[in-house]
Amino acid sequence: MKKNNIILIGMPGVGKSSVGVILAKILGYRFLDSDLVIQEKEGKLLHEIISERGLEGFISVENRINASIECEKCIVATGGSAVYGHDAMEHFKEIGAVVYLKSDYETIANRLGDLAARGVAMKEGQTLKDLYEERVPLYEKYADIIVDESGCSSVRETISKLLEKIK
């Protein structure tokens, strides 16, 4: 397998899917949303998996499925919790460049609606701020490239920054 994929990581609401679809069109790559792959393989929505198996059970399922993704010339938009899966993240680093779409907490908080309905993997009693502070170091740890969305007013601006960094 060639290392010719781009794996997008970051908080929910940062725009991984929006950026990924357009980036795939620009580069002539396929687009793959790992959350949809998980739902398809499990036959359930993300929030149903979390509800039935708990957070740790969901993370285990996510890790297993993400670690099995095989593709070439593909933009992969991961779920925000993908960074909890060590096997998956090591696999992603082997098959492509891991790009962290970085956004500040206030922007994320403004973009997100109902976290439970969205299938956001959070511990009971955990706030979005807690989640943000817990995940940012993991995103930074696994990232080959960091694209800071600060000052970007559109998906196109984020993509322009990303393209500059991968050339």
Residue 63 pLDDT > 90:
yes
Average pLDDT over residues 33-44: 96
The crossing angle, in degrees rounded to 10, of helices 86-95 and 128-142 is 40
Residue 142 pLDDT > 70:
yes
Q: How far apart are the first and last CA of the chain?
A: 21
CATH architecture of 5-166: 3-Layer(aba) Sandwich (3.40)
Average pLDDT over residues 142-154: 89
How many of the other CB atoms lie within 10 Å of CB of 86?
Answer: 12
pLDDT of residue 154: 84
pLDDT in tens, 73-130: 999 999 999 999 999 999 999 999 999 999 999 888 888 766 655 667 788 888 889 9
pLDDT of residue 120: 74
pTM: 0.92
